[in-house]
Amino acid sequence: RVPGWAKGIRFELNGEERAVSPVNSFIPVEIKKDAKIRVAFRQEIEKHFCDNGVWFSRGPLVYALGVRTRREIDTEEERSTEEFPAYNMYADSEWRYGVDPDSELKFVEGESAGWSLCETLPKIELNGLKLKNWDFDRRTTVIRAVCEAHPDLHPPRPVNGNFVFTPRIPETPEPDGEQQKITLYPYGLCKLRITVFPIVKNQ
């Protein structure tokens, strides 16, 4: 089966390269005896656009900006225990970047396939511009819906507190300073991450 992200196919049968034409996303292969089959798919960095933002993938993986975190035990969480504490995680590195989707994208193969966020992982490098009008959405009151299916039995009610939400992408991003290199890693390895970036055209 040929995955949808494949941009090209290299097919070898018993060490001999052969031209193939997928049929309904499959490569039919007739095998009469023992055979050694090798299939390689070509990958490219792809750009995807949504809600005035852009995100990047390569092959089957989505890439994101991994944000360093600061963890603090949530002392107000009733279910938190000493053996299994509840944590709040806060950004401990810059994340407010916009990118120009037309700027150069560089993929680095990497040497590691581990599950720790580090420089040896596969990565995408590109230039970003820090934004001065993109920050957390902070609120002191939210509306809590206990049961949307039965609002008459459990009506929504306001809840007071200090709430912090992921911000929406600004309609008109405002760059702050010079562009700088940012590095994107496989999405699943970034505990705290930015995946969709505001679009900012480099001047």
Residue-wise pLDDT for 6-53, tens only, equals 888 999 988 889 888 888 889 888 888 888 989 999 999 999 998 889
The reported pLDDT for the residue numbered 114 is 64
Rounded mean pLDDT, 105-127: 81
Max mean pLDDT range (13-17, 45-49, 140-144, 198-202): 45-49
Which string of DSSP letters, residue by residue, matches the chain? ---TT-S-EEEEETTEEE----BTTB------S---EEEEE---EEEEEETTEEEEEETTEEEEEEPPEEEEE-TT-TT--SSS--EEEEE-S---EEE-TTS--EEE--S--SSS--TTS-EEEEEEEEBSS---EEEEEEEE-S-TT-TTTS--EEEEEEEEEPPPPPSS--B-S--EEEEEEEGGG-SSEE-SEEB----
pLDDT of residue 117 exceeding 90: no
Least confident of 58-62, 130-134, 155-159: 155-159
The residue with greater pLDDT, 120 or 94, is: 94
The reported pLDDT for the residue numbered 116 is 64
